[in-house]
Amino acid sequence: MSGFFKSSIGRKVAMALSAFFLMFFLLQHFVINSLSVFSAELFNEVSHFMGTNWLIQFVLQPVLIFGVVFHFVMGFVLELKNKSARKISYAKNNGAANSSWMSRNMIWSGLAILAFIVLHFIDFWFPEINTKFIKGDWSGVHEGVEGYRYFHELQGKFVSPIRVAAYALAFVFLALHLFHGFTSAFQSMGATAGRKKTLQNIGKAYSIIIPVGFIIIAVFHHLNHH
């Protein structure tokens, strides 16, 4: 296994697999968050299930955190390896992708997304860990707040226009990162040239719809907070 990660192909495949895992999680996260636009009750119910189910909390959540850390560490490793080899992208592609602006700047968009993840953890994950594991409150209810607290907390984070702007900017960087990374991941897994156009179209749709959707959610709650 150590030899696998030492090889160039092995590192790229590992990077691609972690990218697929995170893109699947991002889609799932978006679907759940989008419920908050249509039904506070449904969003609370689903969030409460996700936040209290032992399999999600003690198995999938640690796997997700490992996936995030692994993806970013592997990205930095690939960037350093490619710089030492005087290549211009972290995952070698054919054609115009080699000279694209995004392929040359994946490290910077990745750093911007990493900064956003830290902000997101401060906003949501750390308070959740404090509530459940330090305070020992697994009820999903805060004193003085009717019903589950999830929707209330979500809206509260988007009262400030500065925070909404920070989230929107982060999702712009995410869109740029996904636009290049989606196709690159499939190529690292050996996708044929004949599928490249289809994968580019799918990647383009994913990299636009998901980030724009998250921005819409943030703006919606900013405009509709109580």
pLDDT digits (tens, 9 = 90+) for 28-82: 999 999 999 999 999 998 988 888 888 988 899 899 999 988 988 888 877 777 6
Q: Which residue has the higher pLDDT, 214 or 106?
A: 214
pLDDT at 1 over 60: no
Give me the mean pLDDT over the 186-214 stretch.
80
- Which DSSP symbol is given to 139? S
Buried b (16+ CB within 10 A) or exposed e, 136-164: eeeebeeeeeeebbbbbbbbebbeeeeeb
Residue 215's pLDDT is: 96
pLDDT at 186 over 80: no
Q: Give the pLDDT band of residue 138 (cuts 50, 70, 90).
A: low
Q: Give the pLDDT band of residue 101 (cuts 50, 70, 90).
A: low
Give the Cα separation of 148 and 44 in Å (integer): 6
Instruction: Determine whether 15 is exposed, middle or buried from the number of CB atoms within 10 Å of its CB (0-12, 13-18, 19+).
Output: buried
pLDDT digits (tens, 9 = 90+) for 107-131: 777 888 888 888 888 888 888 887 7
Cα 106 off chain centre by: 15
Residue 144's pLDDT is: 42
| CATH number for the segment(s) 2-224 | 1.20.1300
